[in-house]
Amino acid sequence: MIGMTMLCLSELFSIQRLETVSAKFELDAFIALMRLEGQVPIARISEILRVLGYPHDSIGMVSERLTFFGSCLSNTLNIGMPYLIFYLSDEIFALGCPILVTIDPVSTAILRIELASDRKGDTWKKHFSELKDHQFIAKGLGSDRGAGIINGFQAYVRTRFGALIIFMSSPI
């Protein structure tokens, strides 16, 4: 089965096909498929491209393509119509940098995710304002009672609605 798959992939990505413009899109689709659905590490994608005979198979090229794909995506979900929702927000950390995340607690869809410079109230206020700009209307906030989240949400609510919205928090 693996041999047959390699044969099909080899035929699909043969040198003759890679010289066409559509082959670039096919290669990009292959890279995205391997990374997102196959959860294949970048180094392994590069190795697969090398085995298939693709002339540009470096780890840097694969990483560059994936970075380009990511830069084309919005960091806020866009549904195109107003949506009343209860925000569930928190921050996570990567290499010491905060990543602000707001999800829909029912579907667990990530509504907005962003790398931030800090976790202060002004940063969270901007985060919530971006959600409002994408037509997500807050009917409340669930959080871990972090000072930045609470202050940011209160400031956001005051500027947008002029009143406070109910907070629901879980103690840690």
Handedness of CA 51, 57, 62, 65 (dihedral sign): negative
**Closest among 128, 120, 69 to 101, alpha carbons compared:** 128
166: Cβ contacts below 8 Å, ≥ 6 apart? 140
Task: Measure the CA–CA gap between 85 and 140, rounded to whole angstroms.
Answer: 7
Residue type, 98: P
Q: Name the least confident of 35-39, 46-50, 74-78, 143-147.
A: 74-78
Answer yes or no: is pLDDT of 73 > 60. Answer: yes
Edge-first strand order for the sheet with 167-169 is 110-115, 97-103, 83-94, 136-143, 167-169
Strand partners, 1: none
Q: How far is Cα 101 from Cα 110, in angstroms, rounded to an integer?
A: 7
Give residue 100's pLDDT band: very low, low, confident or very high (50, 70, 90).
very high
**Cα 74 vs. chain centroid, distance in angstroms?**
8
Global pTM?
0.61
pLDDT at 106 exceeding the cut of 60: yes
> Which segment of 30-34, 122-126, 159-163 scores lowest on mean pLDDT?
159-163
With a CB cutoff of 8 Å and minimum separation 6, the contacts of 15 are 53, 55
Residues 76 and 130: beta-carbon distance below 8 Å: yes
The answer, yes or no, to whether residue 153 has pLDDT greater than 90, is yes
Which CATH architecture fits 83-169? 2-Layer Sandwich (3.30)
